[in-house]
Amino acid sequence: MSQSTLGGNSGTFSFQPSASQLILYAFGRCGIRGPQLQAEHMRDATTAMNMIQADWANDQVNLWTVELITVPLVFGQTSYPVPENVILILDAYLEINPGTSNPIDLYMYPISRTEYAAFPDKVTPGRPTTYWFDRLISPNVFIWQPSINASWTFNYYACRQIMDTNTQNAQQPEIPYAWLKAYSDALSVELAVLYAPEKVAILQPLAAASYKRAKAMGAERSPLFIFPGINNYFR
């Protein structure tokens, strides 16, 4: 046989199992094989996958769901709607002269509801320096000061929720390669609670360990500097 048919690497990077494949794998770890599965098993597993994603949204920033959103500012307008799938606003900046050869970005600082409420004048236009993210079901962001220039833009990095997971048409969960083990382990635990409680004690430590590894890798690597934000006091 030729060397090309023996050994070597696949040369591909396409391993991304569908939601159904992950469900079969997780049920198998619970001792339930494919021929035993019924419609209710698949419904419970789909719900479990989306519950895991909701839980992960509360625990840390999922870097693969971070998007840059640009909002054109309106003269004197104090608030702007935020997409309902946005969980956190991570960083924001005001862009002056957008779309030109000389754009200028000015960092904007987040404030709390209490701080925004303490501003005596919320409507006089000026150069925006801070924002308050009002995290309602239909969220809004409040800009202070309201923009004095309608050509400026408010740009923010948003951490949005993970896309819904479904099993139709071989759909894949929106989970990157490095997180697949943690995701399948978490799913195994969720299904074991429902269908194989005697295996929870075995599967839960495995899920905790794989999540810890994925979380450690799923963070930006950069130095941390702490300093007072006093530049807004000077013009």
The reply to whether 230 falls in a domain is no
Q: What's the pLDDT score for residue 32?
A: 94
The DSSP annotation for 109-123 comes to EE--HHHHHH-S-SS
Question: Where are the strands (E) in 97-211, listed by range?
Answer: 104-110, 130-134, 140-144, 153-160
Indicate yes or no: pTM above 0.75.
yes
CA distance 61 to 59: 7
The reply to whether 233 falls in a domain is no
Q: What's the pLDDT score for residue 231?
A: 58
Q: What's the pLDDT score for residue 125?
A: 97
CA distance 50 to 22: 13
Q: How many helices (H) and strands (E) are present in the chain, helices listed first?
A: 5, 7
Based on the domain organization, do 51 and 133 belong to the same domain? no
Q: What's the pLDDT score for residue 221?
A: 72
Q: What's the pLDDT score for residue 4?
A: 53
Based on the domain organization, do 46 and 123 belong to the same domain? no
Based on the domain organization, do 87 and 122 belong to the same domain? yes
Ranges of the chain with pLDDT below 50: 1, 235
Q: What's the pLDDT score for residue 214?
A: 94
Per-residue pLDDT tens digits for 197-232? 999 999 999 999 999 999 988 777 777 666 666 655
Q: What's the pLDDT score for residue 5?
A: 60
Q: What residue numbers bound the domain in which 54 lies?
A: 16-60+163-200+210-217
Q: What's the pLDDT score for residue 77?
A: 97
The reply to whether 232 falls in a domain is no
Residue 62: how many CB atoms within 10 A of its CB? 22
The reply to whether 109 falls in a domain is yes
Q: What's the pLDDT score for residue 189?
A: 98
Based on the domain organization, do 50 and 79 belong to the same domain? no
Based on the domain organization, do 168 and 55 belong to the same domain? yes
